[in-house]
Amino acid sequence: MIRLENIEKYYPQGLQKYYVLRRVSIEIKEGEFVSIMGPSGAGKSTLLHIIGMHDAGWDGEYYFGDVAIHKMKPKDRAEIRNRNIGFVFQSYHLLDHLTVYENLEIPLSYRDVKKSEREAIVGDVLDKFNIVGKKDLYPNQLSGGQQQLVGVARAVIANPKIILADEPTGNLHSSQGKEIMELFKRLNDEGTTIVQVTHSDVNAAYGNRIINLADGWLKD
């Protein structure tokens, strides 16, 4: 589903290049649950953003299915991203002044889904995630675990093929973290590909493969 060939990423540092990723080649198959691990500063988030097509400043080849992303214009990339990828963030990034319901609606609103359809989809997801009772609350009226639950719900709402999660449980209690990981497992069982960045072996254990990064290099 995703194939990266010799991905390189650097930041200019004075006259020199400061490499964050070196010759990273990985393949992720449909239905996999992959965990990216490695020390702080290794380039995990960077890699995830490249996969997520937020970052366009890199060298190498990126195939999404049959599509050569590295040859595409940013605008076309965005379209592929919107159709296929959902994101979960470490600090949830719910919008403070929108209710749970409205937060869930955002991705749909950017994908030209009709209003009636949106209502149905949001209602579905609220139901599935068991947060119907919270739909009119604001993020700051929720616990961290509940906020991340909404974060995950928001990631799946547009029915992506793949979910990218950057330390989704980093700000959570272990018990709340467990809940999220089990949710991911369930989504994975239903066919969604999942790529997560994590520091925790326990969380990594939910997945079926681990990619190790150190100083921008892949390690086996």
Ligand X SMILES: Nc1ncnc2c1ncn2[C@@H]1O[C@H](COP(=O)(O)OP(=O)(O)OP(=O)(O)O)[C@@H](O)[C@H]1O
Residues in contact with ligand X by the rule CB under 6 A? 11, 20, 40-46
Residues 37, 213: contact at Cβ < 8 Å? Answer: yes
Judged by CB, which is closer to ligand X: 144, or 170?
170
In the complex, the smallest distance separating the C-beta of residue 217 from other proteins, rounded to whole angstroms, is 21
Binding of residue 45 to Mg ion (CB under 5 A): yes
Choose the contact partner of 41 out of ligand X, other proteins, Mg ion, none; CB within 5 to 8 A by kind: ligand X
Strands 162-166 and 85-88: parallel
CA distances from 187 to 5, 39, 155, 190 (A): 28, 27, 11, 5
Residue 65: both structure tokens together: 């299915």
Contact 177, 169 (CB under 8 A): yes
Question: Under a CB-based contact definition with an 8 Å cutoff, are residues 7 and 216 in contact?
Answer: no
Residues that bind other proteins (CB under 8 A): 45, 49, 52, 54-55, 75, 78, 81-82, 87, 89-91, 93, 95-97, 106-107, 110-111, 140, 154, 158
- Give the residue among 145, 44, 35, 152 at the shortest CA–CA distance from 89: 152
Instruction: Please work out the total of residues on this chain that contact Mg ion, with binding judged by CB under 5 A.
Output: 1
Contacts of 15 (CB under 8 A, 6+ apart): none
Nearer to ligand X, 18 or 110 (CB): 18
Residue 163's binding partner out of Mg ion, ligand X, other proteins, none, with CB under 5 to 8 Å set by partner kind: none
Compare residues 91 and 130 and give the one whose CB is closer to ligand X.
91
Q: Using CB under 5 A as the criterion, which residues of the chain lie in contact with Mg ion when the complex forms?
A: 45
